[in-house]
Structure formats: C-alpha cells, structure tokens
Structure 1
Amino acid sequence: MPENIFRYICAQLSVKFVSADSISGGDISQAFLLSTDQGRFFVKINDSRQALDMFRKEGEALKAMVSAGVKAPHVCLSGAFEDSAFLVMEYIAPGPKSRTSMEELGQSLARLHQHHGEQFGWNEDNYIGSLVQTNQWHDTWATFYITERLWPQLSMAKARGYHVGSMDKDQMISKMLTYQDEVFPSLLHGDLWAGNYISGSYGQAYLIDPAVYFGDREVDLAMTKLFGGFSNDFYSAYDEVLPLKQGFNERIELYQLYYLLVHLNLFGSSYLPQVSSIMRRYF
C-alpha cells in the first residue's frame, strides 16, 4: 500500500507519520497498524465502491455501542483518498482471550441488550459483511425479522439458483409469530462471532465490526453458538445480568438461519444443506 494514503490520514489527524504495517484484520478490507509520533492507530482500507458508506456506518455503529455503555474502539476518522476509503480507530493492543475477558464480554453484551428502542430496525440500512442489511422500522419483531432479514437473503439465494425451500412471506410471518413471546427491541451487535471481539492487554473485552439494529437479543446469542468460540463463562456472566428467556434453545436455529443465508450468498453452496434443513423445520 503506497505511503501517500497514510500520510494523508496523518495530516487529517494532525500527527506525524512514522510507519504503516499490514496486519490481519478482516476478510473484506485491508488492515494496517499506523504508527505516528502521537501513538498507534488501526486503519482499514478498501477500494470498493460502497466502502466509504460502509466505513461511515461502521463508525456510527461503534459510537452507538459506546453510548450504550460497552467497550468498542474509539473512532478517529473516516474518509476517502484517491480511489480508496478508510476508517481510522484507536489501536487496541491484543491480549489473551481469558476467563476474565469472557466474563466481561458476557456482561458487556447484556448491558448492550438492556438498551432499548421503540421499534425494531435502525435509522438507516447498513451492512452484514459486504451485503446490504435493510433496517426499515417495524412495530413487531416477526414482521421485521422476516421482511428485513430472511426475505432479502432468501430472495438473493433464489436469484443465484439455490433452492432454499418454501417462500411465502405472509405465511413465514404467521409462523414466526408462533415461535416468540413478547420481544423488546434491544440494541444488537448484529454480527457477533468470535472474531468480532478483542481482548485487551488487561482482559478488557472490546466489540468490533458491528451490524447494529434494534432486534431480539436472542439473535446475538444464537450467532455466538453458530461457529463457537464463546465459553460457558461468557454465557454465565450474561445470564447473571440478563437471564435468558424460556424456549431460547428452540429458537437458536431460527436465528442462525439469517447468518447461514448470508454465508450461503457470500461463500457458496456448502451452507445450503443447513439452510434447507432449518427452513423445513420452521417454515
């Protein structure tokens, strides 16, 4: 990556450039550790057309989580230089993922979920990975989950030639109503797999790469169980602050369906058997 973009970023931050080193940081964007005379920064760079919008919304989502009382990297700057978009955040020096960090993460997620909205949705569409995630406001969770989550991904999968099962939106909403009791709109991380939190040097737990909206808190918890990486300490700490609702285990796959559809549309047919099985079970 040419130095010019990093020197431009440093000028915007009123700091002096020292070095920029490539680091692991995600599948969608390139990640760099930017060293300056005023400290280190984490920088994401992407040259796709939607990257500027994607980074702006990621920055807003991180700020929303911090406002709700959880730890997330401080957003310093987002913008564009020539053909590339960038997002600059504070650099969190990583530490081991310990029992302490897992407990703090569980408590932090519960605090996030205690932040409620009046409806289900978000004030603008955002992204799940590189895919657009629609967030129109809805009064009921069933209508939101089918209309804004499952239906767009099912339609995309069908357009790509995947047979994903029966698709009748009204019937799916009616079925969805039978699987839920009262649901309050909780602020969600929205994409909570094990790679989307950082353990700091002293066991602090930081949430990163959010896809926020107000929804059923069980969605975040279902995602944590899809690919693993969360210990019993995490779930116990969460439950102490905000106990799970009765019947959660019966709804886990229902909420994992959204993420499996996203993976089907992003990564291909290896996810189709799971998608088809869950569609048959619930719809």
Structure 2
Amino acid sequence: MLEEKLKQLGDNSAIETKTPISGGDINQAYYVKTGKQEYFIKANQSAASDFFQIEVNGLEKIRSTQTIAVPEVYYFDNSAGNEEMMLIMEWIEGEETAAAEQHLGKQLASMHLVGGSTAYGLDQSTYVGKLTQSNEWYTNWVDYYREHRLQPQLDLAVQYNRMNQNRRLKLEALIRDLDLYLPSQPKVSLLHGDLWGGNWIIGGAGQPYLIDPSILYGDHLFELAFTELFGGFSNTFYSQYQEAMPLADYYQDVKPIYQLFHLLVHLNMFGEVYGGSVDRILKRYI
C-alpha cells in the first residue's frame, strides 16, 4: 500500500528503511527511506475521513504567513473508508542549536503579528488530539472562547463522568462570568492552537518547524499560555518572542483561564490525573 502511494508521487525506488517512531498516541508514525528520498509518514485506521485534511489545511495556513516553516506535504488520504489512511511529508532533521529557540520565538511572534483575519475562530472544525472542535466566526473573542472552547469541554466532561458537582458548578460560573476576566477584542492572530514542546522540531541550520497544528484565530496570549503549561520552552524563546511582540499587562490574570481549556482537554482524554489542576484554577476565580 505504501509502495503504491510513493509511486503515485513519482518515487519508484525500493523502500530501504521503515522505522516506527514513538511519541504519538493517536497515529502510527514512521521514518521511511527509499532509494530516492526520506519521508515522515503518519498512518491511522480509525480516524475520521477528514483528519489528515484538517491537519494539512492548518499547515498550509501557517505556511501562507511566510513567517515560520512547516514540513512539505506530499500526499494525504481524506476518504479512506475502512482502509488505513496515510499522510506523507518530508523528513525534517537537524541538530539542536542555541539559535533554534531564538528563531522560534521571533518567528512565532511574527506569525501572530501577521493576523490574517478580522474575526475570531475558523470556518471549519478542527481536532485537538482526537477530540473534535467545532468552529465559527465571531466578532467577540469572549463569546468564541466560551462557546467553542470551554463549554464543549465541560459538556464532554459531563458525558465522560469527569465533572463532580463542585467542579461543574464552579466551571459553569466561570463560563457565565467570562466577560469579567477576558478581553472581548484582543488583536486577532493566527494561532497554531496546540503548541507544546512536542509540536515543533528543528531542521537544518537550526530552523524551527511547526507540526501538528489545530489552528484558529484568536488572542495570541492563548497560545503563549499553553506553551507554559507543560514546559519545553526556554527563557530564550520567551525573551525573543516578547522583543517582537510584548505581552499585555493582563497576561498573568488570564493565563490560568487560557490554560484551563487545555487541562480540560487532557482531563477528557486521559482522566482524573488532570482533575486537581482544573480544580486549582477554578478555585482561583470562583
């Protein structure tokens, strides 16, 4: 099957190496080397038919800003039925350098400064991990964040029985009063949407590449807050980012609310191990 798809790309050479790559919990990933080229390949037999299409759309949107690199996409399936779907991209490999995170900070800020939309949200659904995220266009960021980020995760947590009564009441109160804490009209920025330490890689000459996006247009501080949640970014990254795009005075006040979304996602995907972190943020505000 892989050989057939590579032939469609004009690579008729034999596969010399196919090595599984660890680190993902949604797709199977492989390093593949043929007589002609090296590839990075994702495969999935159970994902929705548009799963890789949405990822490719996000990569192309980031590429269109001409600010930060993303891998070249050679092929993807978008309606494989019961067959295994594949996404075939260029293989990116480079040595870690001190300059890599400097470039990442500057280039991410440049992407956030480009904007590209006058509204918040997106015109299509996306995925965060394996969870579907609905999107629409909004003129008010608070309304978007309430209705397409926090509320859907609350509903899912109730469905998964991961909301005890106290947690649910506090989260419902925070969602209701969100206007008290978040800006309604922050600068509109294109966001990667799922930027943690595992979703960027280093290419040649220390060039950073963004991977696995879950894009949206929103407050750039939503992106920055997530980068701080699970670590993986150095002080150099933040200093270079802020040199290009200084953080608003209200950042420390809104950071926990922005991190709350990602903690709710992890609560829904992985269980109560994230419940205490959710409760600590709710206690701060309610």
Q: Same fold (TM over 0.5)?
A: yes
Which residue of structure 1 aligns with residue 108 of structure 2?
109
User: CA separation in 1, counterparts of 2:232 and 2:22?
Assistant: 18
Which residue of structure 1 aligns with residue 246 of structure 2?
243
SS in structure 2 of the partner of residue 166 of structure 1:
helix
Stretch moving more, 243-252 or 256-265: 243-252
Which residue of structure 2 aligns with residue 10 of structure 1?
6
Change (3 A) 1:236 1:66: same
Q: Is the 8 A contact 1:165 1:280 kept in 2?
A: no
Change (3 A) 1:194 1:217: same
CA deviation profile, 1:116-142 (whole Å, cap 9, x unmatched) = 211111110010000001111111010
State the shift of 1:49 in Å. 3.9
CA deviation profile, 1:1-59 (whole Å, cap 9, x unmatched) = xxxx2112212211023232212352210111122233111110001141x31111101
Q: Is the 8 A contact 1:135 1:148 kept in 2?
A: yes
Q: Is the 8 A contact 2:146 2:178 kept in 1?
A: no
What aligned pairs does 1:24-173 form with structure 2 within 5 A after superposition?
24-50=22-48, 52-69=49-66, 70-79=68-77, 80=80, 83-96=83-96, 98-116=97-115, 117-161=117-161, 162-163=163-164, 164-166=167-169, 172-173=175-176
State the shift of 1:81 in Å. 8.5
User: CA separation in 1, counterparts of 2:50 and 2:95?
Assistant: 31
State the shift of 1:167 in Å. 6.3
TM-score normalised per structure 2? 0.91
CA deviation profile, 1:187-209 (whole Å, cap 9, x unmatched) = 00000100000012321110101
What aligned pairs does 1:172-211 form with structure 2 within 5 A after superposition?
172-180=175-183, 182-211=185-214
Aligned pairs, how many? 277
Stretch moving more, 188-197 or 73-82: 73-82
Alpha-carbon RMSD across the aligned residues, in angstroms, is 1.9
Q: Is the 8 A contact 1:260 1:274 kept in 2?
A: yes
Change (3 A) 1:38 1:171: same
SS in structure 2 of the partner of residue 250 of structure 1:
helix
Give the partner amino acid of 1:233. T
SS in structure 2 of the partner of residue 225 of structure 1:
helix
Give the partner amino acid of 1:113. H
State the shift of 1:166 in Å. 2.0
Give the partner amino acid of 1:8. E
Give the partner amino acid of 1:131. L
TM-score normalised per structure 1? 0.92
Unmatched segments (≥5 aa) in structure 1 = none
Q: Verify: 1:277 aligned to 2:280, yes or no.
A: yes
Identity %: 37
Change (3 A) 1:274 1:71: same
Change (3 A) 1:232 1:181: farther
